[in-house]
Amino acid sequence: MALSMFDRKHDFGVYNTFFAAKYWEIYIELGRQMGATLGDATYHEIRYEDLLESPEKIMRDVCNFLNVHYNDNLVNF
């Protein structure tokens, strides 16, 4: 995330790791606050670490949330 922000420093104004992490923390917290106001039927949060650890479970959860059919091709591509 920090490296992506460094590449777009003119968009984000981020020039070091501390500010990149702080910027990210602020965005995550705002997203969670907005998600809480939307409710579980509209907001579904996915952690990247969880996706890496359990891709099939996470993608099944996403498909359930979106009310679409799960296909193994989502994780076995």
Q: What is the pLDDT of residues 46-67, one digit of tens each?
A: 999 999 999 999 999 999 999 9
Predicted confidence at residue 66, as pLDDT, reads 97
State how far the Cα of 72 lies from the Cα of 77, in Å rounded to an integer.
8
Average pLDDT on 2-26 reads 81
